A and B are shown apart, each in its own frame.
Chain A
Amino acid sequence: MAPERELLLQVQDLRVHFPLEEGVVKAVDGVDFEVYRELTLCIVGESGCGKSVTAQSILQVVDAPGYIASGQILFHDHNQVGATQVLDLAAMGRTSSQLRDIRGRDIAMVFQEPMTSLSPIHTVGNQISEVLELHLRVTPKEARTRGIEMLQRVGIPRAEQNYDSYSFELSGGMRQRVMIAMALSCSPRLLIADEPTTALDVTTQAQIMTLLRELQAEFKMGVILITHDLGVVAEMADEVVVMYLGQIAEQGTVDEIFHDPKHPYTRALLRSIPRFDFEEHDRLESIRGIVPDPFHRPAGCPFNPRCDEKLEGRCELENPPVFNLGENRAVRCLLYEEDRALK
């Protein structure tokens, strides 16, 4: 890992709340992380842990009634002259022109469901050229040329013809390629991919992951990859953030997370996946209980009712702070209280 890595995005103490009739759901509850250029940050967790909401809040596309309650999302914008401008995306209005300029141009997103996120009544070309014409102010003719180039780049066969086809005429893998072509058409500096391969078959997933890695190197992008699949994390990530109930449980490099997991949740998660090196019919270890529902969060550490290494009398009372165990290595667990100073 080169020491001169370039900071792209800094998320600080992000909180996203959903005021509902039954009460306020704190979907994201104090999350900090950093994204660097040319590196991939994976946010991993089970459903309901707040990983997708975290990703959506960066571009403020969280579904209503969710809103950013507090925190900063600092985007380091380098202009051509080399000067750096730091923009706080969280402070911008949801519909402000400043944020709309950034969406799709500097920061782009790829969603999970390529069928529902592409419009069925516009051709693929329509949808790509819209982005180009809006952000780069090119003529429709130029947009078409660039759009076709993008489709070729993401490996769509007969790009010329497929430019004029509709999303339902394409296979799942091809649709996801179109999504990626759209996202990358303005050469963004940061790509947020929310479960980009979850709806795809394994062989198609392998194609898309290879493509994403190639494009990342080519466009020198930072990537935030949201996934629940630890296999995808091991494959793609440089840095990993493990989330549980809206908080970061643990953070570190991919090797640290897989070979030296610290948080009891990460360890339990790694033990509970069926691995290829298991003997047939070995028993899987599982995490007891279920993810608590957001209206009945346990007091103290959110993981304490399911934790095997719980400290009686402490974990059910105090929510541990984040302990820093080195550069970009942090864990939110009282077991490491003595190890390192508070972050």
Chain B
Amino acid sequence: MKGATPLLEVQNLKMHFPIRTGFLRRDTSYVKAVDDISFEIEEGETLGLVGESGCGKTTTGRCILRVLNPTAGAMMYHPRQGPVVDLARLSKGELNRYRQDIRLIFQDPFSSLNPRLTVMEIIGESLRVNLGLSGSELEGRVAALLSTVGLRPEYSSRYPHAFSGGERQRIGIARALALNPRLVVADEAVSALDVSIRSQVLNLLQDLQDEMDLTYLFISHDLSVIKYACDRVAVMYVGKLVEVAETRSVFLAPQHPYTEALMSAVPRPDPRFRSQRIVLEGDVPDPADPPAGCHFHPRCRYAEDICRVEEPPLQDTGPGHKTACHFAGNLQLAGIQR
């Protein structure tokens, strides 16, 4: 099922936020939250977008949904029928028919559901607006959606406060799936959940993908969740992609020093792996004023003169593997040990 047909091709996407200062509120500089990134999402796959806070992963997701209007770049979407469209250039009206295809699951199950609406209204709203359903037809669809995500249909008259965090996240998932989407952007969808609930929701997302032929863009800072859920992984650092490859090769044979450091920083739930880590010095740079050359060079233990001057492009460094590093392939980087 995981064919190599692209569903969405993101090309040279840029999202720059202006910083306005002074009396005239002129744009004096820009926060380059997303700075010239390109990647593809193939139909039926789960692409993980991973990075630390402020790296631009959420902004990327929001651009794809056109919550934000990207500064530059193209997002070529292949609809079920009809020609390829560039989501970045469509007007609001033209965009409406594609909004049903690309949906979002939010991070925080507490603030993403309106406390004054019942579950029926929350999930039914998009069905009412887009498909014009009402009455028993609407109720039937909502009930079916609720049982798909593992909630009892009779709960549909309740308000969000009557549910626990995990159940609310299921409501959010049901809402995202109401219109039979093709691409679901899951932005930190399990980060706010407890361990025992998180595994339930991860399993649910996987079941739904198989049942409904979904494609996921899975945004997370948690590498163990990414490792579990994704087919391919894109690693971001300060607005740029530094490495894109299949999950297995990213984890076993990373080619970018940042990926190596990121993976070694994750505490493993096994005392045998204690303190076998690379501790990066310093903080993630400010995206308004990133370092010259490779953005990672001030924290990189392999950095040489060229890294301080020249920015490495994201290029092929192996089958299905892209890396933005001058020394990709020439470094002995450690993946995770088993």
Interface of A with B (CB < 8 Å)?
A: 46-47, 171-174, 201-207, 209-210, 228-235, 237, 254-255, 258-259, 268-270, 272-278, 280-288, 290-291, 293
Contacts and interface: CB of A to CB of B under 8 A. Distances in A.
Contacts of B269: 230-231, 233-234, 258, 270, 273, 275
B199 A284 contact: yes
Contacts, number: 140
Interface string B7-30: 000000000000000000000000
Nearest to A257: B271
Given A202-B265, A209-B267, A285-B199, 18 more contacts: A46-B195, A46-B196, A203-B261, A204-B52, A207-B279, A231-B266, A232-B267, A234-B271, A235-B275, A273-B224, A276-B223, A276-B251, A276-B266, A284-B199, A284-B203, A284-B228, A286-B197, A291-B196
A202 B262 contact: yes
Interface string B261-280: 11011111111011101011
Nearest to A284: B199
B166 interface: yes
Contacts of A229: 267
A322 B167 CA distance: 33
* Size bracket, chain B contacts: 35 or more
For the complex of A and B, the 6 pairs showing the least CB-CB separation, nearest first, are: A231-B267, A274-B228, A286-B199, A287-B196, A201-B52, A206-B265
B59 to A, nearest CB: 16
A296 to B, nearest CB: 12
User: DSSP class of B's interface residues: helix, strand, loop or mixed?
Assistant: helix
Given A234-B271, A290-B166, A291-B194, A278 B227 contact: yes
Chain B CB count within 10 A is highest, among A231, A276, A278, for A276
A323 B229 CA distance: 39
A298 B104 CA distance: 36
Contacts of B268: 231, 234-235, 275-276
B127 interface: no
A275 B275 contact: no
Contact of B283 (A204, A206, A209): A204
Contacts of B199: 272-274, 284-287
B167 to A, nearest CB: 7
Contacts of B323: none
Contacts of A172: 53
